[in-house]
Amino acid sequence: MQPVGCQADVSGTLGAQVTAQVLQPGADGALAPAGDPASEVQVRSGQVLRLHIRPVEGSAHPSGSGCPVRASVGGLSSVARVPSTDSFIFDRNVAYGQFRPGEERTLDFPIKPFEEWGNVREQATAENATIGFPETTEFVARLPAPYQPPRGTVCADVVYPDAQPAPGVVLGLTTPPNGRTNRRPTGSDGRVCWDGFDVNLFGDLSLRDTSIVPALGQPTSRYVSFETSYRLFVVKRPG
C-alpha cells in the first residue's frame, strides 16, 4: 500500500487545509497565542490572525516532493495587512505555495484598526477556516435605528466608527445632480435633514468637509430619491 501524500490537483474547491489562531501582541511587541489553532476563531483590531496551512492529503501524489497548495484569503484583505513572505505567491487574494508532503506553513495577518477596515463584515473564510469579527457585530448593534423620514424629506445620520454621533459634519444635497448644492451641518445627534421635495426628487448627498474622512470603506457620496431618502455615513474622528 502506498503511503498517503498530497493531492497534486488544486483546481477543485479545496486547495489547502487551513486552521486559524489568534495572537496578541505584548508590550514588547512579542506575539503570544490567545488560543489554540481551530477551524473557527474570533479576531479583533490590533491582534494578529495566523493561518496554519497544510496541503490537502490524498493518494494522488504520494511519493513526490512537491505539493501544490492554493489558499483563498481574499476575505481578509479588507480588514488586515497582507503579509510579505517568500513562502507564498499572492495573486488576486489567493496564496499559492509548493509544499513538501506533510509540511505546514503559517501566514500572519495583522488586523488593521477598525476604522481602516475596507468594509464591515461579520466573518470571512480561508478555505475551511471561519474567522469572525465581533467588532462589526458590536458596531451594527450600536447604530441608530434606520430613520424613516416624512415623505418629501431627505435625512442622513453621520456616525464615528464607535457608532457615536458625529456632530457638525457638513453634508451637501444636490438636486438634481447638476443643480444647486444645499449645505447643512449635522446636529448634536449626528443627523441632518432637508424637506420640501416632491416625487421628482433625485440627486446626490455627499460629505462636503474636506477634513472629514470616510471610514469602513464608506463612500463620500450617495444617491438619493423620493423613495430612497435616508442615508448613513461613517467617518473617522478628526485628528
Nearest to 134 by CA among 23, 42, 20, 35: 42
Q: Which amino acid is at 100?
A: R
DSSP 3-54: PPEE-S---SS---EEEEEEEEE-TTS-EEESS--BSEEE--TT-EEEEEEE
Q: Is 139 helix (H, G, I), strand (E, B) or coil?
A: helix
Asked whether residue 190 carries a pLDDT value surpassing 50, the answer given is yes
Q: What percent of the chain has pLDDT over 90?
A: 57
Element (H, E) at 59: none
pLDDT in tens, 23-40: 999 888 899 999 999 999
Please tell me which of 50-54, 60-64, 116-120, 174-178 the model is most confident about, judged by mean pLDDT.
Answer: 50-54
Asked whether residue 1 carries a pLDDT value surpassing 50, the answer given is no
Mean of pLDDT over the chain: 88
Asked whether residue 148 carries a pLDDT value surpassing 50, the answer given is yes
**pLDDT at residue 8, as a whole number:** 56
Whether residue 235 contacts residue 212, with contact meaning beta carbons closer than 8 Å, is answered with yes
Rounded Cα distance between 93 and 70, Å, is: 11
| Prediction pTM value | 0.84
Nearest to 62 by CA among 108, 115, 114, 1: 1
Q: Which amino acid is at 56?
A: V
pLDDT in tens, 111-130: 999 999 998 789 999 988 99
Domains of the chain by range and CATH?
5-138 (2.60.40), 144-234 (2.60.40.1120)
DSSP code of 94? E
